Amino acid sequence: MNIKEIETKKDLGIYFIGILAVLLILGLWLYTYYELKDMPANERGTLGDMFGTVNALFSGLAFAGIILTILLQKKELGYQRKELQETRAEFIIQNKTLKTQRFENTFFNLLELHNQIVNDIDYEKKLIPADPFTDKTRTVKGRDVFQDKFNNLNREIKEDIDANKLYLRFYEKSKTDFGHYFRNLYRIFKMIHETEFVSSTELNLDLTIPENKEKYDLCNYIQRYRYTSIVRAQLSDYELLLLFYNCLSDNGKDKFKPLVEEYAILKNMPTNDIKQKKLLDIFEPSAYKNKNEGKI
């Protein structure tokens, strides 16, 4: 027998006792009326005085009936409160589901746009040495552009050269394609970073308490890291290498670099391809490794 059936039986017992008490009082009143209606007035008065304690009993029963009514109302309010709590919990779940669906629709559309931008990037590469009997250029497209452009950049990097100035000159020549690419990629990471995936209401936490705030931040970080990892998985080695230099430059050091460090975006970057090793230390260690790895 479940709890609901037990509570139903208890309610029926209370209702039965209440009805029985009402019927008992009504029966005694009818019995008294028929017994006393033909008696002389002085005898009824004397008899009434004898049954004064019975009147007190009836008054007590009436008072008990009031208390019973209050108890029943209290129980009913308890049921209503429980039902409201269940409704609220269901609403929170539905709201969370809708919020996740809206986010993922936007997220995967942006991710699809990112891949489209990569596929649409192309440039005409000069062939050296040129073959006089064939075309002097060939078209490089998609992710091959990143490999080719990085190799060009990397050949110019020396130990004593200013990587920021060198990259900005390189970017200026390719900003038509790379400008669009990096702006869209930044927008994806920023959207993830600014999204609240789990609210304090869902977690039932008071954020004025430091421990609760830490738990709230960690729960949201886990979800954010999950989505940023999906984006990171789309990036080739050469995209990561160019992202590295972009975030060191004036183009990305203020806005993009903090996001790269927050979500370990350079985790899979081949660091051996960075000639100036000192540049690696400009990033926080979290750019290469999940800062919450021991907590999740």
**Mean pLDDT within 287-293:** 90
| Cα(114)–Cα(221) distance, integer angstroms | 23
Mind listing the pLDDT tens digit for each residue in 237-288? 999 999 999 999 999 999 999 999 999 999 999 999 999 999 999 999 999 9
Q: Is residue 59 predicted with pLDDT exceeding 60?
A: yes
- Give the model's pLDDT for residue 209: 92
Mind listing the pLDDT tens digit for each residue in 1-25? 555 565 566 666 666 766 776 677 6
Q: Is the dihedral of CA 198, 199, 203, 207 positive or negative?
A: positive
Under the banding of pLDDT at 50, 70 and 90, the label for residue 32 is low
Q: Which two tokens stand for residue 58?
A: 């009836």
CA distances from 152 to 128, 147, 169, 275 (A): 14, 9, 12, 13
Residue 283 DSSP symbol: S
The packing angle between helices 41-50 and 52-120, to 10°, is: 60
Q: Is residue 130 predicted with pLDDT exceeding 60?
A: no
- Mean per-residue pLDDT of the chain: 82
Identity at 26, one-letter amino acid code: L
Top mean pLDDT of 9-23, 98-112, 198-212, 258-272 is at 258-272
Checking 92-101 for CB contacts under 8 A at 24+ apart, the result is 92/201, 92/202, 96/198, 96/202, 99/197, 100/197
Q: Are 189 and 228 in contact (CB under 8 A)?
A: yes
Phi, psi angles (nearest 5°) of residue 267: -55, -40
| Cα(246)–Cα(251) distance, integer angstroms | 6
- Sorted by where each begins, the domain ranges of the chain are 3-91, 93-287
Q: Which two tokens stand for residue 75?
A: 């129980």
Under the banding of pLDDT at 50, 70 and 90, the label for residue 230 is very high
- If one compares 152 and 135, the residue with the highest pLDDT of the two is 152
Question: Which range (93-97, 107-111, 113-117, 247-251) has the least confidence?
Answer: 93-97
**The pTM is what?**
0.68
| Cα(273)–Cα(147) distance, integer angstroms | 12
